[in-house]
């Protein structure tokens, strides 16, 4: 309860976005002394190593699978038949 009482009147502004997954700014932030935190989609990709793994999977994919994917890409995927 003491922590809650101490936080009365204090706030942090949070803006979820597309490029910045999370952008936080302290209420006391001013132009000369910005107090912000950004968490970007690029930072997430680096942490998960998703780009590196995607390239690795693409390089290790057999030629028969690549050929099948190429032939299937010419068809619409929304058809039932």
| pLDDT average per 10 residues of sequence, the chain (81 residues) | 75 72 78 81 88 92 92 78 59
Output the pLDDT for position 65. Answer: 93
Report residue 6: phi and psi, to 5°: -70, -25
Output the pLDDT for position 79. Answer: 66
Which residue shows structure tokens 């290790």?
60
Output the pLDDT for position 62. Answer: 95
Residues ≥6 apart with Cβ < 8 Å to 17: 23
Output the pLDDT for position 19. Answer: 72
pTM assigned to the model: 0.50
- Strands of 36-40's sheet in order across: 12-15, 20-26, 36-40
């Amino acid at each position: 309860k003491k922590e809650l009482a101490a936080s009365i009147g204090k706030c942090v502004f949070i803006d979820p976005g597309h490029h910045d997954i999370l952008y936080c700014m302290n209420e006391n932030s001013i132009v000369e002394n910005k107090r912000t935190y950004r968490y970007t989609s690029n930072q997430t990709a680096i942490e998960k190593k998703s780009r590196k793994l995607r390239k690795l999977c693409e390089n290790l994919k057999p030629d028969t699978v690549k050929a099948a994917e190429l032939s299937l890409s010419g068809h619409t995927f929304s058809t039932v038949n």
